[in-house]
Chains A and B, each alone.
Chain A
């Protein structure tokens, strides 16, 4: 009889877990819809900005505007000495491989640079990634919690500003950003983006509209371009955060869906076991009664 009770207890526990996972899935679905909308809207801005930057940096390269080669943001350093890696993970777990994928990618990048004898500084966003690196005793330069679950333009600007300042001052030679982005409801896509220095490589001189020279209307051309590039980097960072939130919710939704299904399957097989045990118990009881009656005859 103890066996029956055990099974019953198990069924109860599994089905209550199932309730939790189902609720979490519903919450994530609702949140995902909002995050997806936000990501879509800011994607337009980010893409347009990328276009503008690509065109301008390409044109600068082609037309060799005076005095602009000196902008550090555009200078491509072949042998970086110091690199900043920014990784974005979630603050919460229970979202499948979402966090571990990002951490793995960050780690790979880290060891790649180590092999090349490049010093790396890690800057983390999101509790899960920070916890992982702390546990493995890898030093983090900077850590921010709460930003990845609720992206805010101001905090994101503040965070990236530190990297920009260091880059400008020559302390770092490149800045990478690693995050898991949203692709569609079912898949996430890992991004490893080099945000500094800017690559003007993609733009070939043949794409320049002929006969149209770029005129920059400002008393200080360098300042204008520097400002524009800073906006570009900030928007990249903010977009990465938004994209990562959308991806986090889609990953969690999926993970919780799978968990709910697994729990359902488990309850079903436990129910079968329970019924079997119950039948066995009844049969034994019957036999006992019958044999008791038999012996009294």
Chain B
């Protein structure tokens, strides 16, 4: 199966680094999906959720506040100012991650509608992990 490398970094460290089969990024001018062999692209990202589909069909969601994405045929690099990964092995870990994500969201988002739409996405992502 085709795959490409995805790296998500913030000044406080690496959030994600690994092979994925597809990723959806919150671009400045709307969400866009990236599959392997995507043409080179450089774009700004806004507050939103990065949806990652791993090679084994598992999904992962990472909240980012603001950043840049560099895409080329073999890799995607996301440089964000702040990011929180929604992951964990049990309910309490996930709800803690969710809480951290919401805190970050409230710090950066400027409008209530943006907060609402992103946080509903985060919650559905958290639910899907628990299932």
Contact = CB atoms under 8 A, between A and B. Distances in A.
A56 B11 CA distance: 20
A211 B81 CA distance: 32
Contact of A41 (B13, B28, B72): B13
B79 A231 contact: yes
A216 B42 contact: yes
Question: Interface residue tally of chain B, by bracket?
Answer: 20 to 34
B79 to A, nearest CB: 6
A51 to B, nearest CB: 8
A201 interface: no
Interface in B1-42: 7, 9-14, 27-29, 39-42
A218 interface: yes
B124 interface: no
B11 A212 contact: no
A214 B101 CA distance: 32
Nearest to A234: B11
Given A52-B70, A231-B68, A216 B43 contact: yes
A42 interface: yes
Interface in B39-80: 39-44, 68, 70, 72-73, 77, 79
A227 B44 contact: yes
Contacts of B81: 231
A41 B9 CA distance: 10
Contacts of A235: 11
Contacts of A56: 42, 70
B13 A45 contact: yes
A45 B40 contact: no
Nearest to A239: B11
Given A42-B11, A45-B79, A217 B39 contact: no
A292 interface: no
A44 B14 contact: yes
B70 A215 contact: no
Interface residues of A, number: 27
A6 to B, nearest CB: 56
Contacts of A49: 79
A213 B42 CA distance: 11
B40 A214 contact: yes
Given A214-B42, A215-B39, A217-B41, A52 B77 contact: yes
A40 B27 CA distance: 29
Nearest to B78: A48
Contacts of B9: 44-45, 48
A48 B40 contact: no
A238 B73 CA distance: 31
Interface string A221-246: 00010011001000100110000000
A155 to B, nearest CB: 14
A48 B39 contact: no
A67 interface: no
Contacts of A227: 44, 68
B11 A238 contact: yes
12 contacts: A41-B13, A44-B14, A45-B11, A49-B79, A55-B70, A213-B39, A214-B41, A216-B42, A218-B43, A224-B42, A224-B43, A227-B68
Given A52-B70, A224-B68, 16 more contacts: A42-B11, A44-B9, A45-B11, A46-B11, A48-B79, A52-B77, A212-B40, A212-B72, A215-B39, A215-B42, A216-B43, A218-B43, A218-B44, A224-B44, A228-B44, A238-B11
Interface of B: 7, 9-14, 27-29, 39-44, 68, 70, 72-73, 77, 79, 81
Report, nearest first, the 4 A-B pairs whose CB atoms are least far apart.
A41-B13, A217-B43, A45-B9, A212-B40
